Amino acid sequence: MSLHRRTRALAARFQPDRDGSALAREAQPVSAPVSAPSVARPARRPVGETFAALRVYNFRLFWFGQLISLTGTWMQTIGQAWLVTSISRSPLALGTVTMLQFLPILLFALFAGVIADRVPKRRFLVFTQSAAALQALVLGLLVATHVVQLWHVYILALLLGLTNAFDNPTRQAFVPEMVGRPLLANAVALNSTLFNAARILGPAIGGVTIATVGLRGTFFLNAASFVPVIAALLMMKLAALYPAPPPRDQRMTEQLREGLSYAFRTPPVLLIVILMAFIGTFGYNFTVVLPLLARFVVHVGAVGFGLMASAMGFGSVAAALTLAYTRRASERQLMLGASFFSALLILVGLSAWYAPTLGLLVLLGYASIIFTATANTRLQLVVPDRLRGRVMSIYILLFAGSTPIGSMLLGSAANIVGVQTAVVAFGTLCVLGVVIGAAYRGAHRDGGSRPRTPEPGRSFTGS
């Protein structure tokens, strides 16, 4: 039997509950207890199974195309930050450009999730990826003609953010349509590996290209990097996809309300919302001040800055490969990842030396992916197929859409009290979020981690 047929046969065993909680579970006698929504795994698995999802043709095309594209995106991220600090040495200017890039996600992510549940995702992604390529090309032309000004960067960052607001929820919801439920946890972890491999390669290459071919070359290379992923989307086999069922015949506002209602009445989803609200706002905006730490705290240039960003990527790749192999997605793992990330962020803020900072950034990257990949996997497994785009848009909203608030607060705080003090303060706020999440988790766990049958309208909290 072909891999595609075996995957479809396995997918038939993952049916949504009558109440719409869609917990992934294997067929079993009615009297048998149902376990929590963590990923089933054998005691021992061949190392090659770490990359099982890459055997799927469509996902393999998409994965390698994204690897090239995201590497270029990270090159542009480094180049854009360096461009802004070259035009203006103000932390506030750096925070402003980041705020503008993520403001559309804050404003439109939830409605973008509704659209993601309504449109053919593959064709829509071709459009969004093409728009992002055009933005990079325009920025490169402005730098090449020596007319670029800070307001140009602001406008282009805003346009890129508008593209990403619709691209991100659609891309997240498209993963299950490529691989099906049985390989979903592995695919999510491999996507994290992809993202962070690009985070290693992109900043390192970006630092070199800035020093050799200049900022314009960096932006032009990013524009060209979108070609492989667009080609991959166009080359996919449509018959091998697992399209989500069409949404109910509702108005957009009703569909949005349905997604929000599901998220806030489902304890495992709401726990992730609480944690991501704090860590997404106050933790992941740490990258806003990373170039300032490089310039003014540890005193390194463009290449050293690229290595600092890559250090987080190394830790992140290690974590993603670990998750791809183990295929675990427990609440305990979620809480540990959030806790260690928060504590390590405080330590990074306290470090004033380059070598220790690099080591801490590796650990910070590891904890970051343990948290985000676990959160992503749990959401993808718990949420019904027809609601996936909407619930994932909440995740994107808190993960990236909170950046306008967090980046402006962090940029302003760094301007007033200094970069290191601001990072320590924001790490402390992340710790507060973990404490609140732990309290909520404790209040919604009956009988510890003992497996139990879900009540109507509820999902498992299990670990």
Q: pLDDT per residue over 355-372, tens digit each?
A: 899 999 999 989 988 998
| Separation CA 16–CA 20 (nearest Å) | 6
Model pLDDT for residues 10-24, shown as the tens digit of each residue:
444 433 333 333 333
Quick one: 157 exposed, middle or buried, by C-beta within 10 A (0-12, 13-18, 19+)? buried
Averaged pLDDT, 163-182: 87
Averaged pLDDT, 108-127: 88
With 60 as the cut, is the pLDDT of residue 293 above it? Answer: yes
Phi-psi region of 333 (alpha: psi -120 to 50; beta: other; left: phi over 0): alpha
Pick the range with the lowest mean pLDDT from 366-380, 385-399, 438-452. Answer: 438-452
Q: Where are the domains of the chain?
A: 54-443
Pick the range with the lowest mean pLDDT from 271-285, 296-310, 419-433. Answer: 296-310
Averaged pLDDT, 379-401: 82
Whether this model's pTM surpasses 0.75: no
Averaged pLDDT, 418-443: 91
Angle, CA 43 vertex, CA 38 and CA 49 arms, to 5°: 80
| Separation CA 295–CA 414 (nearest Å) | 13
- Contact by Cβ (8 Å): 263, 391: yes
| Separation CA 332–CA 312 (nearest Å) | 23
pLDDT at site 345: 92
Pick the range with the lowest mean pLDDT from 124-128, 225-229, 412-416, 452-456. Answer: 452-456
Model pLDDT for residues 68-81, shown as the tens digit of each residue:
998 898 888 888 88
Pick the range with the lowest mean pLDDT from 268-272, 393-397, 401-405, 418-422. Answer: 401-405
Model pLDDT for residues 188-218, shown as the tens digit of each residue:
878 877 776 776 777 778 888 888 888 899 9
Using 50, 70 and 90 to split pLDDT, how confident is the model at 247? low
With 90 as the cut, is the pLDDT of residue 222 above it? Answer: yes
pLDDT at site 48: 60
More confident call, 273 vs 244 = 273
| Separation CA 327–CA 397 (nearest Å) | 25
Q: How crowded is residue 406: how many other Cβ atoms within 10 Å of its Cβ?
A: 25
- Widest CA span in the chain: 72
pLDDT at site 163: 93
More confident call, 164 vs 24 = 164
Model pLDDT for residues 316-358, shown as the tens digit of each residue:
888 888 887 776 778 889 999 999 999 999 999 898 888 899 9
Angle, CA 380 vertex, CA 48 and CA 71 arms, to 5°: 60
| Separation CA 144–CA 266 (nearest Å) | 51
54-443 carries CATH number 1.10.1740.10: no
Averaged pLDDT, 73-97: 82
DSSP designation for 344: H
- Contact by Cβ (8 Å): 181, 24: yes
Using 50, 70 and 90 to split pLDDT, how confident is the model at 456? very low
Model pLDDT for residues 32-58, shown as the tens digit of each residue:
333 444 444 445 666 567 788 888 999
| Separation CA 255–CA 307 (nearest Å) | 44
Quick one: 457 exposed, middle or buried, by C-beta within 10 A (0-12, 13-18, 19+)? exposed
| Separation CA 195–CA 317 (nearest Å) | 8
More confident call, 306 vs 248 = 306
Using 50, 70 and 90 to split pLDDT, how confident is the model at 127? very high
Averaged pLDDT, 112-123: 86
Average pLDDT value for the chain: 79
